[in-house]
Amino acid sequence: MDPSSEHAQRRYGAIKKFFDWALKEELVPRKRELRVLDLCAGTGIAGAALCETLHEWGIKGSLTLVDKRGEDLSLVKNWLSREEEVTGIVGDCLTELPKLRDFDVALLWGHSMAHFNPFQAAKLFRSVAEVLNPGGIFLIEETDNFERLFYRGRYRSPYVEVKSDEWALLSLDEGYSRKRGTITIGFYRIPNWELVERTELRFWDLAGIAGMLSMAFEKVGIVSKAEHGIVGVDDVVYALLPHRA
């Protein structure tokens, strides 16, 4: 998400409001210093929003970001109004997490669960439990895709993702894997049907995420949009009291 865009700035403001709410509700721990880990971070919008909010609460925050795209990670300081302790790690969080330790908050923000099949998600959740301190929390922003796409019948293929006067980006369902629980989606630029990307996605439901988290954490729950009341932030699954292997 481009930090210079108006949409991104509105999104950033909404995320800050959520973390302010989470601190008031003591969902995020109130300590003198918090180490924040932002996974699949992109430009670091969520981690930066948390660190800025921590500063407003008089809490010192340090931020570690993990993402495959180094060019996105380089933009994180555009979100920050002051110098913060920031570490960017270019790589896959499934391989990088075992190298990390001692965080107070872990974030998976912006509907990133679609990139993990159930086997990868189980590995991810176990690894996050290992890197968090005993009083740490894992926060996942996600939508309930079972309800949205299937129960309410909004699943469409083909689907126009982006459209202009000259071209459109179309997504096309290209098959389902029963062994991985994923749908292969092809993204095509039309009218020439140029393949832009082909990827496997998993459409998660919130209860499925929470249930799987309960194998790695003692306490899990879901904060709905109605409960936190912040426009621009989706439902948030949380996990506390990580189990140790």
Inform me whether the pLDDT recorded for 229 exceeds 70. Answer: yes
Q: Are 240 and 217 in contact (CB under 8 A)?
A: yes
Q: Give the domain extent around 175.
A: 146-201
Mean pLDDT, the chain, whole residue set: 94
- Regarding whether 139 and 41 lie in a shared domain, the answer is yes
- Regarding whether 217 and 177 lie in a shared domain, the answer is no
- Regarding whether 190 and 76 lie in a shared domain, the answer is no
Residue 86 lies in a domain: yes
Task: Give tens-digit pLDDT for 8-66.
Answer: 999 999 999 999 999 999 999 999 999 999 999 999 999 999 999 999 999 999 999 99
How many domains does the chain divide into? 2
Residue 1 lies in a domain: no
- Regarding whether 165 and 136 lie in a shared domain, the answer is no
- Regarding whether 164 and 210 lie in a shared domain, the answer is no
- Regarding whether 98 and 138 lie in a shared domain, the answer is yes
Task: Give tens-digit pLDDT for 160-219.
Answer: 999 999 999 999 999 999 999 999 999 999 999 999 999 999 999 999 999 999 999 999
Backbone angles phi, psi at 175, to 5 degrees: 135, 155
Residue 163 lies in a domain: yes
Whole-prediction pTM: 0.93
pLDDT of residue 245: 64
Task: Give tens-digit pLDDT for 69-111.
Answer: 999 999 999 998 877 789 999 999 999 999 999 999 999 999 9
Name the one residue in this structure whose structure tokens are 């896959």. Answer: 92
Residue 238 pLDDT grade (very low, low, confident, very high; cuts 50, 70, 90)? very high
Q: What is the DSSP string of the chain?
A: --TTSHHHHHHHHHHHHHHHHHHHTTSS---SEEEEEEET-TTTHHHHHHHHHHHHTT-EEEEEEEES-HHHHTTGGGT-SS--EEEEEES-HHHHGGG---EEEEEE-SS-GGG--HHHHHHHHHHHHHHEEEEEEEEEEE--HIIIIIIS----SSEEEEE-SS-EEEEEEEEEETTTTEEEEEEEEETTTEEEEEEEE----HHHHHHHHTTTEEEEEEE-HHHH--TT--EEEEEEEE---
Residue 24 lies in a domain: yes
Task: Give tens-digit pLDDT for 117-162.
Answer: 999 999 999 999 999 999 999 999 999 988 888 777 777 889 999 9
Residue 100 lies in a domain: yes
Inform me whether the pLDDT recorded for 112 exceeds 80. Answer: yes
Q: Which of 184, 201, 218 is a domain's end point?
A: 201
In whole angstroms, what is the distance from residue 79 CA to residue 76 CA? 6
